[in-house]
Structure 1
Amino acid sequence: MAQQIVVAGALISGARLLVAQRARPPQLAGLWELPGGKADPGESDAAALTRELREELGVGVTVGARLGADVALSETLTMRAYVVTHQTGELRPHDHRALRWIGADELDALAWVPADRAWLPDLARALRAPQGADQAETSTQ
């Protein structure tokens, strides 16, 4: 059986990470995640993530480096994360209850969807790494 890939985007601005609160399904509603979704057959990870973040957040992004290791959700479903950079549009939660910017010190306290917890050490490293001045921007919660 073919592997289905789910892509997730770590949108980092300066030392802050954008997280999204799930609205559904009921067992995951209220938990926080990196936004993203399933790649369509034949679609590259980067194309899928660009499409998903446009649909879910209303923004255009540039997909960068992989973040952490793949996370197996089932025998046929694999999740993979990438660092993304906001390029165009205004962030809006089209498919989530809420969006929030957090720092590295807030990662462990957040109620994450279980699969995304595997990336917390990688996210902490990415948030603590020196960022270029061109990535810094002010955002409100």
Structure 2
Amino acid sequence: MTPMTPMTDRIVVVGAALLDGGRLLAARRSAPADLAGRWELPGGKVEAGERPEDALVRELREELGIDAEPVERVPGEWPLRAPYVLQVWTARLRPGSPAPRPLQDHDELRWLAPAEIWDVPWLDQDVPAVRDVAPRLTADRG
């Protein structure tokens, strides 16, 4: 049996800090039961052989029906239930993308202005990334 390396003993989950007009998109979980009602940055698992950025684009299309592009990685990585870890990218809607709508795993979406960022109960693992992204909302208003 070969020892596990840091790259094989974890599964990366990508989250999108989707920015638009100085607002951040938050998605309320509808499942599983222990996460339902809490808010997160939308995203999902990176498949074998897939780049995280490509997984982000795919997951946003599947979960929200949008065409988005990753902008930059938010520094850091946050543990989820083993063996999962969360990595977050800022992202933006591509021109002509439909408006986001909850298709899978979510029952409500909200665009949050800077003053509203903490109005929703974020999942614990998303809080550090949201904290990092929040100052960028003012700069994104252009």
The TM-score range, normalised by the shorter chain, is 0.7 to 0.9
Whole-angstrom CA distance in 1 between matches of 2:89 and 2:11? 16
- Number of aligned pairs? 132
* TM-score scaled by length of structure 1: 0.87
2:120 equivalent in structure 1: 110
Change (3 A) 1:74 1:23: closer
Change (3 A) 1:31 1:74: closer
Select the structure of larger CA radius of gyration.
2
Whole-angstrom CA distance in 1 between matches of 2:79 and 2:65? 28
Note the aligned Cα RMSD (angstroms): 1.4
Structure 1: tracts of 5 or more residues without a match: 134-141
Shift of 1:31: 0.6
Q: Percent identity?
A: 36
The runs of at least 4 consecutive aligned structure 1 residues that moved more than 4 Å come to none
1:136 equivalent in structure 2: none
Whole-angstrom CA distance in 1 between matches of 2:141 and 2:135? 15
Shift of 1:23: 0.4
> Match of 1:89, as an amino acid?
P
Whole-angstrom CA distance in 2 between matches of 1:79 and 1:61? 19
* TM-score scaled by length of structure 2: 0.86
Structure 2: tracts of 5 or more residues without a match: none
1:108 touches 1:120 (CA, 8 Å); kept in 2? no
Q: Which has the higher strand share?
A: 1
